C-alpha cells in the first residue's frame, strides 16, 4: 500500500506529545486541569435542543438533506446577519450552510489553489488554513501576527511577487489563538491590498459572539466592498455552544459561495436536516443566553488574567474569544513551559507553536472549563508564583 505524497507534506501534529503526557498523568491518577481545549463546557440552549428533537422525530428529516441548505435556514442566516451586523445578504446566492465551518475552511482551498499556488495565512493561525492549502497542493506563505502590531498582519512587509502569486488570503478576527480583534479600518486596508494583487479574501469569524466588556466585534461583510472579493465563514459552534452538532456557514461573494457549493456537492450531502432546523431556531430566537454565557467567560477571564499577572506572565486582556494568550517566562520555549506546567502543576495548556512558528514564546489558555476546575487551576498557578 502506498499513501499519497500529499500526506507526507502535512506537518507533524504538535499536540501529540502533550496529549500523550496528559493521558499518562491521568493513568497515574493525577487530576489534570485541562485549559487546552477550545470547546464550550456550557450546554446548547434548551430551545435549540428541543427544536432538534422535534425535527429528529419527523420522518421528513430522515432522508438525505437539502445539500445547499433548507431555504428556512438560509433565510435565518441572512436574517441574523441583518439583525446583528446590518448586512443584507441574498439567501439564495450569498449564503451556504456548512457541516461546521472547519469543513468549508478546508474545502475552499480546492476552489482556489492549484498545485504550486500560494495562499497568505496568518501565523500563528488556526491550522486548517494552511493544511487545506497543502492538501490542495499549494504552499502557505505565512504572515506573522506580532504583538507590536496588535496581532494584525503587516501587508507592507509582504513582497509584491509573493502577493501577486497568491490566490487567497486568510484573516481571522476575533482571533484564535491570540484573542486579538480588528476594526473595519483594518478590513478596509485588507481589501485594498487584496484588490491591488488580485487576491480573494476568506475571513473566518466564528468568535464574533464571544465578546466582553460591551464590545461588539464587526463583520468583514459590513464593508460594502468586501463581498466583491471575499467571503466570511461563521459558525454556530461558539455562538450557541453547538460544537457537537457541526453547523456553520459561509456568506458573501456569490461566485465564491457557488464555487464552494460545487466542490461540496460532489463530496458531501449537506447538514442533517434536523440540525438545520435547530440552527434556524438558534439564529431566530432570543439571543439573551449569549450575553449570559459571555458574562460567565468574562468572569473566568478576569480570574485567570489576575493570577497570570501575579505570576509575572504577561498577557493582553482579550475583549473577545475565550482564549488568553500569555507570554512564556524568560528562558522557556512554548513547549518547555507547557511541559513544565503539566509536570509541576498538572495543568494542561496549548503551546503557542501548535499554531505555527509565530506562536513561539506564548501559551494559550482556554476558558471553556467549568468554574470549579478553573478555580482549581488558578489555585495551582498561584502556588507557582515567584518562579516565573
Ligand atoms: C478560528 C476558528 N475557525 C473555525 C473553527 C471551527 O469551528 P466549527 O468547525 O466548529 O464551526 C474554530 C474552532 O475551534 C476556530 O477556532
Q: Which residue has a Cα nearest atom 6 of ligand 1?
A: 102
Q: Which residue has a Cα nearest atom 14 of ligand 1?
A: 38
Q: Beta-carbon neighbour count of residue 217 at 10 Å? A: 19
Instruction: Give residue 385's pLDDT.
Output: 60
Ligand 1 nearest atom to the CA of residue 248, by list position: 11
Residues with CB under 6 A from ligand 1: 38, 100-102, 126, 172, 176, 204, 206, 235, 237, 243, 248
Indicate the pTM of the whole model.
Answer: 0.96
pLDDT tens digit sequence for 237-274: 999 999 999 999 999 999 999 999 999 999 999 999 99
Q: Beta-carbon neighbour count of residue 380 at 10 Å? A: 17
Calculate how far, in angstroms, residue 206's C-alpha sits from the geometric centre of ligand 1. Answer: 6
Query: What three-state secondary structure class fits 204?
Result: strand
Give the model's confidence band at 344: pLDDT under 50 very low, under 70 low, under 90 confident, else very high.
very high
Q: Beta-carbon neighbour count of residue 25 at 10 Å? A: 16
Which alpha helices (DSSP H) does 285-333 contain, by range?
Answer: 288-311
Residues 6+ apart with CB under 8 A from 210: 174, 238, 239, 294, 297, 320, 321, 322
Cell numbers for 139, please give them: 504552499
pLDDT tens digit sequence for 11-64: 877 777 788 888 999 999 999 999 998 999 999 999 999 999 999 999 999 999
Instruction: Give residue 20's pLDDT.
Output: 86
Ligand 1 nearest atom to the CA of residue 246, by list position: 10
Calculate how far, in angstroms, residue 102's C-alpha sits from the geometric centre of ligand 1. Answer: 6
Question: What length does the chain have?
Answer: 388
Cell numbers for 349, please give them: 495548556
Torsion of CA 319, 296, 249, 197, to 10 degrees: 10
Ligand 1 nearest atom to the CA of residue 105, by list position: 4
Per cent of the chain over pLDDT 70 is 99
Amino acid at each position: 500500500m502506498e499513501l499519497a505524497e500529499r500526506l507526507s507534506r502535512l506537518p507533524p501534529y504538535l499536540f501529540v506529545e502533550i496529549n500523550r503526557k496528559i493521558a499518562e498523568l491521568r493513568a497515574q491518577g493525577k487530576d489534570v486541569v485541562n485549559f487546552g481545549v477550545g470547546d464550550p463546557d456550557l450546554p446548547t440552549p434548551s430551545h435549540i435542543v428541543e427544536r432538534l428533537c422535534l425535527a429528529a422525530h419527523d420522518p421528513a428529516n430522515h432522508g438525505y438533506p437539502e445539500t445547499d441548505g433548507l431555504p428556512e435556514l438560509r433565510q435565518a442566516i441572512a436574517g441574523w446577519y441583518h439583525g446583528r451586523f446590518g448586512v443584507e445578504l441574498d439567501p439564495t446566492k450569498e449564503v451556504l450552510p456548512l457541516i461546521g465551518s472547519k469543513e468549508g475552511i478546508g474545502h475552499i482551498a480546492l476552489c482556489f489553489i492549484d498545485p504550486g499556488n500560494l495562499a497568505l495565512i496568518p501565523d500563528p493561525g488556526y491550522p486548517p488554513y494552511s493544511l487545506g492549502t497543502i492538501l490542495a497542493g499549494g504552499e502557505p506563505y505565512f504572515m506573522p501576527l506580532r504583538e507590536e502590531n496588535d496581532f494584525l498582519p503587516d501587508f507592507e512587509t509582504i513582497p509584491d511577487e509573493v502577493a501577486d502569486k497568491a490566490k487567497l488570503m486568510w484573516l481571522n478576527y476575533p482571533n484564535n489563538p491570540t484573542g486579538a480583534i480588528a476594526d473595519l479600518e483594518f478590513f478596509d486596508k485588507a481589501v485594498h491590498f487584496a484588490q491591488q494583487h488580485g487576491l480573494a479574501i476568506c475571513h473566518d469569524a466564528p468568535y464574533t459572539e464571544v465578546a466582553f466588556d460591551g464590545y461588539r466585534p464587526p463583520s468583514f461583510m459590513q464593508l460594502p466592498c468586501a463581498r466583491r472579493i471575499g467571503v466570511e465563514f461563521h459558525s454556530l459552534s461558539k455562538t450557541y455552544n453547538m460544537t457537537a452538532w457541526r453547523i456553520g456557514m459561509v456568506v458573501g461573494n456569490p461566485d465564491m459561495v457557488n464555487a464552494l457549493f460545487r466542490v461540496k456537492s460532489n463530496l458531501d450531502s449537506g447538514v442533517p436536516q434536523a440540525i438545520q432546523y435547530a440552527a434556524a431556531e438558534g439564529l431566530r430566537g432570543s439571543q439573551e443566553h449569549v450575553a449570559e454565557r459571555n458574562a460567565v467567560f468574562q468572569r473566568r477571564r478576569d480570574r485567570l488574567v489576575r493570577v497570570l499577572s501575579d505570576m509575572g506572565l504577561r498577557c493582553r486582556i482579550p475583549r473577545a474569544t475565550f482564549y488568553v494568550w500569555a507570554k512564556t517566562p524568560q528562558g522557556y520555549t512554548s513547549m518547555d513551559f507547557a511541559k513544565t506546567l503539566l509536570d509541576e502543576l498538572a495543568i494542561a495548556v496549548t503551546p503557542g507553536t501548535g499554531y505555527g512558528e509565530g506562536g513561539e514564546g506564548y501559551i494559550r489558555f482556554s476558558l471553556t472549563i467549568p468554574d470549579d476546575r478553573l478555580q482549581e487551576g488558578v489555585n495551582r498557578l498561584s502556588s507557582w508564583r515567584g518562579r516565573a
